[in-house]
Amino acid sequence: MEYQNTQTTAHTNIAFIKYWGKKDAQLNLPCTDSLSLTLDGYFTTTTSKFISDNEDQIWLNGQRAPVGFFKRTQKFLDLCRQLNHCKQKIQIITTNHVPTAAGLASSASGFAALAGSLNKLFQMHLSRAQLSCLARRGSGSAARSIYGGWVWWQQGSSDQTSLAVPIDEHPQLPICLLSVVFNDQPKKISSTQGMERARTTSPFYSCWPHIVANDLSAMKKAIATADLQQIGQIAENNCLAMHALNWSARPAFSYFTDATWKLINLLQQWRQELQLVAYATVDAGPNVKIITQKNQVQQIQARVQHSFPEAQTTILYPGSGIQ
Ligand code: 2P0
């Protein structure tokens, strides 16, 4: 079993309809559905094998994993050992091909690749749907990185029914994203903590499931009709509604900085005055991903660099599912 090839690659994804809040923290069951685009170019590759040591061995980017990463990964190994009635220790070798400069979370690609590799190691023969459930247990957004292109994570009501489904694995529309990184320092409030505080204390949280349901249905229509402007506008609206939950939490918090706002305002100006397709989406940090189209991205990149000479920008395209 040890000698079989367990190498698995999974790509990162960006949510266009955000996941923000869990109804079950242990199972990572979200309070709402969400929808994302899997990205090309940025991925995690993971291999695994059984070892006869007394401890699991976890390597990240060529070095022993730091303690936080080790514990979170080991918890996932324990889950897979339990599912397979196994006690043997495991060696994990994982490499993130996600430059810090791209400002992309690696937990989605990381747990998707880990789930895929352990599926091979334990010979679980899981379908992609079952793999999505398993990856979700490591990190919610990892459920979506099993598939390429447009992916819909259905919240479900149990461990077996909360899973992602592909909407369109090979989008034909000329969409691309420009990642704008102002700051690549680790965030002060993790996604897990931030979404829990918003869910439990924002007086507006009860509106969030309705907002997501409406935005999701409009987004699916916009994807089906390849309406890039609508896709961008709905994503920006949904992102700002998600962040409004944080601004209204008690105590309130914000991932935005002055630079985040300045760029969002500039995009609005460029849409109105220059007729550019350029909309913002922002995750649990100050950095912005600009949703745009292939024939405008270079112009937008030049404008962003002019306004923010210190920012690091990277162009991102749709990518494929787990391999
Ligand atoms: C998303 N984010 O839909 C949302 C939008 C960040 C902002 O999913 O606690 O690392 O591991 O399930 O998946 C990031 O949160 O959280 C995230 P856990 P995760 O992409």
The predicted model gives 186-201 an average pLDDT of: 92
Boundary (domain end) residue, out of 129, 144, 168: 168
Q: 140 and 17, same structural domain?
A: yes
Q: How far is the CA of 273 from the centre of ligand 1 (A)?
A: 34
> To test the ligand 1 pocket, which listed residue (26, 137, 191) has its Cβ within 8 A of the most ligand atoms?
191
Q: 78 and 18, same structural domain?
A: yes
* Residue 110: inside a domain: yes
* Residue 323: inside a domain: no
* Residue 322: inside a domain: no
Residue/partner pairs of 80-84 with CB below 8 Å, 24 or more apart = 80/118, 80/122, 80/134, 83/122, 83/124, 84/122, 84/124
Please provide residue 52's backbone torsions phi and psi, each rounded to the nearest 5 degrees. -95, 10
Q: 113 and 212, same structural domain?
A: no
> To test the ligand 1 pocket, which listed residue (34, 139, 196, 254) has its Cβ within 8 A of the most ligand atoms?
139
The confidence score (pLDDT) of residue 303 equals: 98
* Residue 3: inside a domain: no
The predicted model gives 236-259 an average pLDDT of: 97
State if residue 152 touches ligand 1 by the CB under 6 angstroms criterion: no
Please count the structural domains in the chain. 2
The tens digit of pLDDT for each residue in 97-127 reads 876 656 677 899 999 999 999 999 999 999 9
Is a pLDDT exceeding 90 seen at residue 192? yes
Q: pLDDT-based confidence at 188, cuts 50/70/90?
A: confident
State if residue 314 touches ligand 1 by the CB under 6 angstroms criterion: no
The predicted model gives 76-85 an average pLDDT of: 98
Boundary (domain end) residue, out of 140, 168, 196: 168
Q: 65 and 44, same structural domain?
A: yes
Q: Which residue has the tokens 């695994």?
A: 48
Q: pLDDT-based confidence at 4, cuts 50/70/90?
A: low
Q: 185 and 96, same structural domain?
A: no
CATH of residue 205's domain is 3.30.70.890
Question: Going by DSSP bridges, is the β-strand pair 175-181/312-316 parallel, antiparallel, or unpaired?
Answer: antiparallel
* Residue 153: inside a domain: yes
Q: 305 and 269, same structural domain?
A: yes
State if residue 34 touches ligand 1 by the CB under 6 angstroms criterion: yes
* Residue 85: inside a domain: yes
Q: Distance (Å, rounded) from C-alpha 319 to C-alpha 40?
A: 4
Q: 189 and 306, same structural domain?
A: yes
Q: pLDDT-based confidence at 228, cuts 50/70/90?
A: very high
Q: 161 and 22, same structural domain?
A: yes
Averaged pLDDT of the chain:
95
Q: 240 and 145, same structural domain?
A: no
The confidence score (pLDDT) of residue 104 equals: 74
**How many Cα atoms occupy the beta-carbon half-sphere of 284 within 13 Å?**
20
Is a pLDDT exceeding 60 seen at residue 1? no
Q: 152 and 22, same structural domain?
A: yes
The predicted model gives 249-270 an average pLDDT of: 97
> To test the ligand 1 pocket, which listed residue (22, 283, 287, 288) has its Cβ within 8 A of the most ligand atoms?
283
Q: Of ligand 1's atoms, which has the minimum distance to the CA of residue 191?
A: 15
Q: How far is the CA of 18 from the centre of ligand 1 (A)?
A: 8
* Residue 1: inside a domain: no
The predicted model gives 255-265 an average pLDDT of: 97
Q: How far is the CA of 283 from the centre of ligand 1 (A)?
A: 8
Q: How far is the CA of 35 from the centre of ligand 1 (A)?
A: 12
Please give the residue range of the domain that contains residue 80: 8-168
State if residue 17 touches ligand 1 by the CB under 6 angstroms criterion: no
Q: 156 and 29, same structural domain?
A: yes
204 SS3 class: coil
Q: 75 and 131, same structural domain?
A: yes
Is a pLDDT exceeding 60 seen at residue 49? yes
CATH of residue 45's domain is 3.30.230.10
The pTM (predicted TM-score) of the whole model is 0.96
The tens digit of pLDDT for each residue in 120-149 reads 999 999 999 999 999 999 999 999 999 999
* Residue 226: inside a domain: yes
Boundary (domain end) residue, out of 116, 135, 168: 168
CA angle 110, 255, 299 (to 5 degrees): 80
The confidence score (pLDDT) of residue 3 equals: 41
State if residue 117 touches ligand 1 by the CB under 6 angstroms criterion: no
The predicted model gives 250-263 an average pLDDT of: 97
Is a pLDDT exceeding 50 seen at residue 317? yes
State if residue 139 touches ligand 1 by the CB under 6 angstroms criterion: yes
Portion of the chain with pLDDT greater than 70, in percent: 96
Q: Of ligand 1's atoms, which has the minimum distance to the CA of residue 136?
A: 12
322 residue type, one letter: I
